[in-house]
Amino acid sequence: MPVPTHHLLRHTPLIDLLRGRLTGRLDWRGRIAAADLPPALAECVTSVVRRTRLWRTEKFAVAAELLAHFQDGLDAGESAEQLITDFGDIRTAAKLIRRAKCRQRSLVWQVWRWAARVLCVLAVIYGYFLAQFLIRQPHLSVDYIAKLNAPTLATPDADRAWPLYRRAIVALGLADHRKDKTLDPWLAGFRNERKIIDATPADPEWPTLTAWLDAHADGLALLRTAAAKPLFGFILGPAGSQTDPELDIQSRRTDVPLVEVLLPDLNHSRHFANLLAADARYAASAGDNTRVVADFQAILGIADQQAGRPFAVTALVRVGIYALAIDQIEQLLVEAPAALTDAQLVGLAHRIAIVGGDAAGSLCDTAGERLAFHDLAQRMYSDDGHGDGRLTLRGIGAIPGAGVLGFSVDDARLDDKTLQAAVTSAASVLGSRRDVVAEYDRLLDLVDKAFSRPLRDWPSGESPMLAYDRRFQVIKHSPLLAARYLPLMIMLPAMERLGWSAERLLGRRDGVIVGIGLELYRRHHGKYPTLLSELTPMLLPAVPADRIDGKPVRYRLIAGRPVIYSVGVDGDDDGGRPPRDQKGQPQSWLAAQWPSGAGNQIQRLAGMTESPASTPADGDWILFDGTSQSAR
């Protein structure tokens, strides 16, 4: 009986069709039926071939082999039953035949087979992590905002400065600072225009400033009283001092991570300091030395009060306010040296001598950064009860800046489905909570260690700050590590800048203390000393050490006026000559740019680039300039 064409087409391999042949050689069932074996043997062959689960060409070959095997047995006089018994278990035979045929397949197929198995295993692992990612939820076990607020809440209201500062804000007309920027000190010098707040008696804006200060004398008095309090007293969090409609500061959210807590009082603190500095200049011009000292003491008091809030941004503001006070004292010594009495100068020297201690660590506290990161971790990761956990879907929304990715914290979903799948995939390989927190703490431990001693005490190749930067660069430039420590990369504070700022402040502090000693010496002897050692021990307990090389700070008279200076980061004594910028203007601070912190050098040491280290500025770091303010 002829085989139908459609049957031949169905069982002809594609390669045969391309050759123009209808072979039908994939019809292994037809081959068994055509063999004319006893039904029991035919059924056995069919069952074995079917169970092998091989390709159809392989099944045809297996069927042919089994038919030949059983036909030989029949020809030898054995019964069908005996042949089936001798053949053994059908399942076992099918498994062995399949294994043998698979081994004969091509290398390409073998590679694909193992790759498929690996992909299946990865899919199972991914599915597990995906399920954990979707199911697990963060658990807020610690209220870090309440932890930071505890000392403030335990302090009597009479010892808190914020209530008085709040009254001063209203009295000074600074409640809505966005509408009135007339006295905004942070726009000073913007577009080369001097702002009223920075005016001196020689400026045309001086009458406007003094009129404003006279009109707001009561508000300034409140600032001085508040600055004398032991505690700033600003209560953190949406339920605290930041929610104050009268001051135009409020928050719509009730549950925010510590890292997103508003600190509007920092801007106010800087405003207060600048207003008091302006009032000190006004008092000096009027010969009111008592008010001058009171204003300086108040500026320093505002800076002291920031110590209770251990954040990097707070430390920067604190350093900036201290620097403002020291700059104003120097300016007074240069422009109006007779404005203060000997006792008042000695009192100011003693007051600024306690600013900062001997190392940046007294001004730079990482405790707040740690608390903020630990708070972020508990909002991002699940909690296994032992300090560990995995990243959660809702936790991604707690990452600062997650809104840029289209993520909504409130409904815990991503708008873009493709992005959601990508973030979900990345979440399965991110570091665990314990791993990420431990790495963050290790880095900040290096910062604390670096700030525990003056920078000059750390050899350039051993500085913990260098190790911190080196590790940060390694993580940053490694895609795997950057993904693993994603929260860490977002949250690491710019500690290097803070350390530099603190070191510069300590150097300037030492210079102004020596400047006060020189002014007292001049009053007593009618001239400046030849050597700084002549100031000890009557006016100075010891000559301060240079922040750069550890030797006594340098001193010389230029046009009969004293200049106190450090050798600067280039390490050589240039006789008090400051470096110059690209425009040729003297810029003393360039000599206090520690090259060990330069970004290209860090990358070079970390093996990231072949760029050479930054060249130290050629010149000296002026700590006290009795000749002018131009080189500041």
Q: What is the pLDDT of residues 144-177, one digit of tens each?
A: 989 999 999 999 999 999 999 999 988 888 775 4
Is it the case that residue 409 has pLDDT exceeding 50? no
- Residue indicated by tokens 């719509």: 252
Is it the case that residue 97 has pLDDT exceeding 60? yes
Which SS3 state, helix, strand or coil, does residue 313 take?
helix
> Could you tell me the pTM of the whole model?
0.76
* Residue ranges covered by each domain of the chain: 5-103, 367-492, 545-632
- Residue indicated by tokens 């600048």: 274
Is it the case that residue 94 has pLDDT exceeding 90? no
Q: What is the DSSP string of 496-557?
A: HHHHHHHHHHHHHHHHHHHHHHHHHHHHHHSS--SSGGGGTTTT-SSPPBPTTTSSBPEEEE
Rounded to 5°, the CA angle 571-575-580 comes to: 75
431-455 core/surface letters (b: 16 or more CB in 10 A; e: else): bbbeebbebbeebbebbbbbbeebb
What average pLDDT does the chain have?
A: 81
d(CA 137, CA 144): 19
Enter the DSSP assignment of 4. Answer: P
Q: Are 369 and 360 in contact (CB under 8 A)?
A: no
Q: Are 508 and 592 in contact (CB under 8 A)?
A: no
Single-letter residue type at 278 = A
Single-letter residue type at 546 = D
- Is omega for the bond preceding 541 within 30 degrees of 0, making it cis? no
Q: What confidence score (pLDDT) does residue 544 get?
A: 94
> Among 321, 283, 281, 328, which residue's Cα sits nearest to residue 302?
321
Q: What confidence score (pLDDT) does residue 399 get?
A: 66
Enter the DSSP assignment of 432. Answer: P
Q: What confidence score (pLDDT) does residue 204 get?
A: 87
Calculate mean pLDDT across residues 224-229: 96
Radius of gyration, CA atoms only, the chain: 40
Residue 125 CB contacts under 8 Å (≥ 6 apart), including other chains: 428
d(CA 385, CA 391): 15
CB atoms within 10 A of CB 35: 17
Which SS3 state, helix, strand or coil, does residue 305 take?
helix
Q: What confidence score (pLDDT) does residue 529 get?
A: 95
- The per-residue pLDDT for range 183-202, each reduced to its tens digit, is 555 444 444 445 788 888 98
- Residue 348: C-alpha distances to residues 17, 251, 319, 354, 360 (Å): 102, 40, 17, 10, 21
